[in-house]
Amino acid sequence: MLDSQIVAVTAKAKMIQNGLYCLLAAIVAFLLCSVCAGVAMLHEWFGLVALASGFVAVCLFIAGLGWAVREVTCALSPLEEETAYLRVLTSHYLLKSQERTKLKIAK
């Protein structure tokens, strides 16, 4: 069970990492868009660069949000697995405890 939890937490960490990379790249692309939009006043073709970097920034931002949503939906799976395992253990020990009590009463 511990191995499966390690795999799940590692996958979750990679999702968080991918989301952060996308969001940071989007910030850089938005900054590039802003700079190019300002420089477009001097050179007209920088307007196309600004438009392209703005489009890339929006795409990266949406991808980063997608990774974040995916991570949030997967966030509870290790906890749910642990809870199910603890329920099985608890019921197992309760049954053993009841059997011991019955044996003592029978004696």
Mean pLDDT of the chain: 85
Spell 44-67 as b/e; 16+ CB within 10 A means b: eebeebbeebbebbeebbebbeeb
Give the model confidence (pLDDT) of 20-64 as tens digits.
Answer: 999 999 999 999 999 999 999 898 889 999 999 999 999 999 999
Which residue, among 68, 63, 51, 66, has the nearest Cα to 25 in the 3D structure? 63
Q: In this predicted structure, what is the pLDDT of residue 49?
A: 92
Per-residue confidence band for 66, with pLDDT thresholds at 50, 70 and 90: very high
Phi, psi dihedral angles at 41 (to 5 degrees): -65, -30
Q: Which of 48-52, 74-78, 96-100 has the highest mean pLDDT?
A: 48-52
d(CA 86, CA 107): 32
d(CA 106, CA 101): 9
